[in-house]
Chain A
């Protein structure tokens, strides 16, 4: 029940704002913030109540929705989706606070689409029913379309149409895949009952994978990201980079790997080079971007290349690292966009060449920017390093692909330092000209926006234990499903035992269903 509350509370907020729109800007912002914070607090309940010993789905609610179609309102979370839900509920209030006075026209519309977006995203992460998953996946596009389309920059229409069409093309493929699965799962969309090898699983894998690869974005499908980011309002970019990109990687780990393990193994030699190219290519192109937001966008391509590499390493450390890296990327890139947004509000320009010597004029801003930059290039002691290290180390030690890819990916770490520090130097250091001198430093509100993110950046870097322990079992289950041969290493047997338990869980559910059908016949 708790999970449904978390998912639909923002929707409640949307309705509340729609009704109370007349009360003026501060009321709207107040409601939005309260709803955002409330959702976050309620979602903390999920965190405390989460049982880390089993890998099965928790907080499961299953209500009949459209029995005729074989779909049901079936939601639940496990170690992986728990963190993504928390990331979403954490980032949304931060964004609402960050967009406090940056939105002039249509504030109510802005807040309503932000909260509707949150519901869509939470739905995607919790849906255990393929039909429900697709509904949320598509519904999440609409508010994003408005966010970029109405409150965006100059070329916003081009950018938002490109973004929506690109994702729709992908999800069309996925719909075909879902339907194929529907028929092979004796007419039911339920994810938990889906098991066993499927016919032409390679095509199905591709159908799902391309849809998610576009969202990630993986190398050849990434050209919508820089346009979408440049034209999106600050908060839109934060949510887009912070959470929307994770839907792709979440989809891979929830659908592609467990359902089609053999196809995943077969396609690894195709996907991993793309990921590595993404890392190197993203970094190199980011280096030469004149526009700050485009630079950060391309850096996201590079970071998420790491995540995909980790996902296909079929190694507990690699996959755990990529799940953690999803959260880290959400925090550090979200923070970067917030900071870029802040100087954009002051200077109304995103061109790196317009800045210089900000460290002198805005010391607090410079220090926060420095910490976030270091987290993004993966300095040990901050969150970026933990994720990247686990991915690289996982895929090197027992990766399902040759070590050259890991060497190239590790080279990506150098390039990350190159483009971020070069940007940092051009923006922060150097001489301060008159226009930049007048820029005021961060005010209290902006600092309050940044503090929680910095707290998590340092916490995950120094003591990632609580984060890793929560997702350990779920990742273990995914690893056993993906690995056709048993997990290597002394902990392999231990993973197998308790996943037996998990599999029995799903097995039992399946047997009951079969007996039920037998009676009805």
Chain B
């Protein structure tokens, strides 16, 4: 594992971006070429990641080296440095693995789009930024990757820039991410103020040895970790700042798969897992867990009533991210990351299948206009089913293992969280299979003209689906067998501090409970939606509340966006700037002109007036001179 390997791994997508970006005009002729260049770049990174994983798996020490000095001065030094340990290699494999499959899928999906090369340039830039985020050996590098992926998600969401809704969604995503980054930045400053450096190694070491300058007194780490968590909330779409993810579905579907399911949104989980030491010392895990589980439940309830396939998957992602935060919050960092890995695969799979459904249905997303696609698109149907089963926690599939581990350790931390987690698992199973039954089963509600050319997607699209379906199903079994002694825990033990509370109670009982809950969800969905299609308008008050997503967007708009916009337009600009400040400046001018005006009238031109004023002057002067001096 040498620095050259890491540099090649990192720079390959950058080169792909430069080729597609700069030479875009000449590549416009044959789309396939730029598509394959993009995919090849990610393939190179995948190969390097596998090499890195192999050497790490073979017992090599974690790799931590500095490439060059970035911003340095006397009392501070921020370098560009890389760190590859178990956690990083897992993330690398997920990013480059899922990334590569999505790149190949996009070649088919984006066929005929005139911004083809631009699309692949942005996608490669995204992978590059995500790699920086994951590979960095200090918080500043992570922040650089953090903002880089934010930029790429802005570019890709607003990819079809003619669509006003797309560019609005892109702008919304960037700004909400920026709010999160604001917290992240302040967290970094607090850490630097306390430790004098931002490198992971030295911070964790100093934190454990507890010898750092107290900036905010004993609560320094608490404040630092909470601020970093604000960054995570922004990036991984948790409770207050999740509003951008559902709108991000405006972008092309492979983008949603890669960015808004597998990689970018998990950056927050990765950050907390990376700074596990700090969260353990500062005991802020509870806050993370609570926000995680509440987001999970909240998003699941909204997903119940949505009718747009991608919106349902988006809310399901928000909900599953809540689970991951729940995992890392209660100290089960390994299971949190494990769920991240499994989720990356099956959610990526589901988005891609949704993409192929859209592709076939001429970009129609409303499932009320679908139904009975099982017969027309068998492969898409089966792959989607695998994903749905995995996410619903169907026994022995990947979702089951990772979600169960999280719920198990959640029970150890606090029963209430466990109960909410369980209810959310039920809701997840329900809305997933509501989607399956409405779109793939029952009679077809597809319009005749669309129905005529309804066909299975081309091989270049369904082959990656098939490849992705295999790990979605089996990876849970492969990595998670044996609960806390599983291969995955063993592999990541070096990075994470051991869970500070042992998960009591026997494992089998928890597995049985969660699988029962999963199956119940599926059965309930079967009973309700086997024949009936979801009604068009919401029936009762609760239904209407959920359908309108708790009016959160409208609230933000009314409470934050409009007041700022109108406030700054009328109050700040018109009144304060033009009115007061400019008023004073111009006022000075008018006052002087006014004084000039009055003085002018004194010059009457009459000699007598002048003489009188002269004599008056003399009289007054004499009076003063005689009586006062």
Taking beta carbons and an 8 Å cutoff, which residues of A are in contact with B? 162, 166, 220, 222-224, 281, 284-285, 287-289, 316-317, 320, 357, 359-360, 374, 379-381, 385-386, 389-390, 392-393, 396-398, 406-407, 410-411, 413-414, 417-418, 421-422, 425, 428-432, 463-465, 468, 472, 476, 487-492, 494-495
Contact call A390/B568, Cβ cutoff below 8 A:
no
Interface of A is mostly: helix
Contact call B68/A428, Cβ cutoff below 8 A:
no
Q: Can you name 12 extra interface pairs (CB under 8 A) apart from A411-B182, A468-B71? A: A223-B585, A285-B568, A288-B569, A320-B73, A379-B147, A393-B188, A393-B192, A421-B154, A425-B158, A425-B168, A472-B73, A491-B75
Known contacts A287-B565, A430-B164; is-contact A417 B178 (Cβ 8 Å): yes
What is the CB-to-nearest-CB distance from A405 to chain B, in angstroms, rounded to a whole number? 12
**Contact for B175 among A320, A418, A431, CB less than 8 A:** A418
Instruction: Decide yes or no whether B174 CB sits under 8 A from chain A.
Output: yes
| 6 CB-based A-B contacts, threshold 8 Å | A287-B564, A393-B192, A396-B190, A396-B193, A398-B193, A468-B71
What is the CA–CA distance of A381 and B76 in the complex, to the nearest angstrom?
Answer: 19
**Contact for A392 among B179, B181, B185, B568, CB less than 8 A:** B185
What is the CA–CA distance of A397 and B193 in the complex, to the nearest angstrom?
Answer: 5
Residues of A within 8 A of B162 (CB): 357, 360, 429-432
Instruction: Decide yes or no whether B594 CB sits under 8 A from chain A.
Output: no
Instruction: Decide yes or no whether B366 CB sits under 8 A from chain A.
Output: no
What is the CA–CA distance of A80 and B345 in the complex, to the nearest angstrom?
Answer: 53
Instruction: Decide yes or no whether B620 CB sits under 8 A from chain A.
Output: no
Contact call B189/A392, Cβ cutoff below 8 A:
yes
Instruction: Decide yes or no whether B621 CB sits under 8 A from chain A.
Output: no
Q: Which of A224, A381, A393, A411 has the most CB of B within 10 A?
A: A393
Residues of B within 8 A of A407 (CB): 186
Instruction: Decide yes or no whether B143 CB sits under 8 A from chain A.
Output: yes
Residue interface bits B67-104, CB-to-A below 8 A is 1, else 0 = 01111111110000000000000000000000000000
What is the CB-to-nearest-CB distance from A443 to chain B, in angstroms, rounded to a whole number? 16
What is the CA–CA distance of A485 and B404 in the complex, to the nearest angstrom?
Answer: 58
What is the CA–CA distance of A417 and B176 in the complex, to the nearest angstrom?
Answer: 10
Q: Which of A463, A476, A487 has the most CB of B within 10 A?
A: A463
Instruction: Decide yes or no whether B554 CB sits under 8 A from chain A.
Output: no
Known contacts A422-B171, A491-B74; is-contact A288 B189 (Cβ 8 Å): no
What is the CA–CA distance of A414 and B178 in the complex, to the nearest angstrom?
Answer: 6
What is the CA–CA distance of A205 and B144 in the complex, to the nearest angstrom?
Answer: 39
From A422, which residue of chain B is reached at the shortest CB distance?
Answer: B171
Residues of A within 8 A of B565 (CB): 287-288
Residues of B within 8 A of A281 (CB): 572, 576
In the complex, which residues 154-171 of chain B have their Cβ closer than 8 Å to any Cβ of chain A? 154, 158, 161-162, 164, 167-168, 170-171
Q: Which of B73, B143, B151, B178 has the most CB of A within 10 A?
A: B73
**Contact for A284 among B73, B147, B185, B572, CB less than 8 A:** B572
What is the CB-to-nearest-CB distance from A237 to chain B, in angstroms, rounded to a whole number? 19
**Contact for A429 among B167, B185, B189, B568, CB less than 8 A:** B167
Contact call B74/A494, Cβ cutoff below 8 A:
yes
Contact call B71/A389, Cβ cutoff below 8 A:
yes
Residues of B within 8 A of A222 (CB): 581
Instruction: Decide yes or no whether B577 CB sits under 8 A from chain A.
Output: yes
What is the CA–CA distance of A411 and B73 in the complex, to the nearest angstrom?
Answer: 25
Top 9 nearest A-B pairs (CB, nearest first) are A491-B74, A284-B568, A489-B75, A429-B161, A380-B144, A288-B569, A396-B189, A429-B167, A491-B75
What is the CA–CA distance of A91 and B75 in the complex, to the nearest angstrom?
Answer: 32
Residues of B within 8 A of A429 (CB): 158, 161-162, 164, 167
Residues of B within 8 A of A421 (CB): 154, 171, 174-175
**Contact for B71 among A381, A386, A398, A413, CB less than 8 A:** A386
Contact call A288/B74, Cβ cutoff below 8 A:
no
Instruction: Decide yes or no whether B550 CB sits under 8 A from chain A.
Output: no
Residues of B within 8 A of A359 (CB): 161
What is the CB-to-nearest-CB distance from A167 to chain B, in angstroms, rounded to a whole number? 13
**Contact for B73 among A317, A414, A425, CB less than 8 A:** A317
Instruction: Decide yes or no whether B498 CB sits under 8 A from chain A.
Output: no
Residues of B within 8 A of A422 (CB): 171
Contact call B585/A166, Cβ cutoff below 8 A:
yes
What is the CB-to-nearest-CB distance from A221 to chain B, in angstroms, rounded to a whole number? 8
What is the CA–CA distance of A281 and B147 in the complex, to the nearest angstrom?
Answer: 24
Q: Assign chain B's interface to a size class.
A: 35 or more
From B25, which residue of chain A is reached at the shortest CB distance?
Answer: A363
Residues of A within 8 A of B179 (CB): 414
Residues of A within 8 A of B154 (CB): 421
What is the CA–CA distance of A220 and B581 in the complex, to the nearest angstrom?
Answer: 7
Known contacts A285-B577, A288-B573; is-contact A317 B585 (Cβ 8 Å): no
Contact call B573/A289, Cβ cutoff below 8 A:
yes
Known contacts A381-B144, A429-B167; is-contact A397 B189 (Cβ 8 Å): yes
Residues of B within 8 A of A390 (CB): 71, 73
From B21, which residue of chain A is reached at the shortest CB distance?
Answer: A367
Contact call A393/B585, Cβ cutoff below 8 A:
no
What is the CB-to-nearest-CB distance from B15 to chain A, in angstroms, rounded to a whole number? 15
What is the CA–CA distance of A406 and B174 in the complex, to the nearest angstrom?
Answer: 22
Instruction: Decide yes or no whether B148 CB sits under 8 A from chain A.
Output: yes
What is the CA–CA distance of A464 and B174 in the complex, to the nearest angstrom?
Answer: 26
Instruction: Decide yes or no whether B582 CB sits under 8 A from chain A.
Output: yes
Residues of B within 8 A of A316 (CB): 73-75
Contact call B581/A430, Cβ cutoff below 8 A:
no
Contact call A410/B178, Cβ cutoff below 8 A:
no
Contact call B572/A465, Cβ cutoff below 8 A:
no
Contact call A285/B585, Cβ cutoff below 8 A:
no
Contact call A288/B568, Cβ cutoff below 8 A:
yes
Contact call A413/B182, Cβ cutoff below 8 A:
yes
**Contact for B147 among A166, A380, A465, CB less than 8 A:** A380
In the complex, which residues 163-215 of chain B have their Cβ closer than 8 Å to any Cβ of chain A? 164, 167-168, 170-171, 174-175, 178-179, 181-182, 185-186, 188-190, 192-193, 196
Residue interface bits B492-532, CB-to-A below 8 A is 1, else 0 = 00000000000000000000000000000000000000000
From B179, which residue of chain A is reached at the shortest CB distance?
Answer: A414
Known contacts A379-B147, A380-B143; is-contact A223 B582 (Cβ 8 Å): yes
Q: Which of A389, A413, A432 has the most CB of B within 10 A?
A: A389
What is the CB-to-nearest-CB distance from A478 to chain B, in angstroms, rounded to a whole number? 13
In the complex, which residues 123-166 of chain B have their Cβ closer than 8 Å to any Cβ of chain A? 140, 143-144, 147-148, 151, 154, 158, 161-162, 164
Residues of A within 8 A of B585 (CB): 162, 166, 223-224
In the complex, which residues 463-479 of chain B have their Cβ closer than 8 Å to any Cβ of chain A? none
Contact call B70/A490, Cβ cutoff below 8 A:
no
Known contacts A285-B577, A472-B74; is-contact A410 B186 (Cβ 8 Å): yes
What is the CA–CA distance of A320 and B193 in the complex, to the nearest angstrom?
Answer: 18
Residues of B within 8 A of A413 (CB): 178, 181-182, 185
Contact call A223/B577, Cβ cutoff below 8 A:
yes
Contact call B182/A393, Cβ cutoff below 8 A:
no
What is the CB-to-nearest-CB distance from A297 to chain B, in angstroms, rounded to a whole number? 11
Contact call B182/A414, Cβ cutoff below 8 A:
yes
Contact call A464/B70, Cβ cutoff below 8 A:
yes
What is the CB-to-nearest-CB distance from B150 to chain A, in angstroms, rounded to a whole number? 9
What is the CA–CA distance of A222 and B577 in the complex, to the nearest angstrom?
Answer: 9
Known contacts A316-B73, A393-B189, A463-B68; is-contact A417 B175 (Cβ 8 Å): yes
What is the CA–CA distance of A95 and B170 in the complex, to the nearest angstrom?
Answer: 34
What is the CA–CA distance of A316 and B71 in the complex, to the nearest angstrom?
Answer: 13
Residues of A within 8 A of B568 (CB): 284-285, 287-288
From A220, which residue of chain B is reached at the shortest CB distance?
Answer: B581
What is the CB-to-nearest-CB distance from A302 to chain B, in angstroms, rounded to a whole number? 12
Contact call A379/B151, Cβ cutoff below 8 A:
yes
Contact call B75/A490, Cβ cutoff below 8 A:
yes
**Contact for B75 among A317, A379, A411, A468, CB less than 8 A:** A317
**Contact for B167 among A162, A285, A392, A425, CB less than 8 A:** A425
What is the CB-to-nearest-CB distance from B344 to chain A, in angstroms, rounded to a whole number? 25
Contact call B192/A410, Cβ cutoff below 8 A:
no
What is the CA–CA distance of A468 and B77 in the complex, to the nearest angstrom?
Answer: 12
From B154, which residue of chain A is reached at the shortest CB distance?
Answer: A421
From B129, which residue of chain A is reached at the shortest CB distance?
Answer: A381
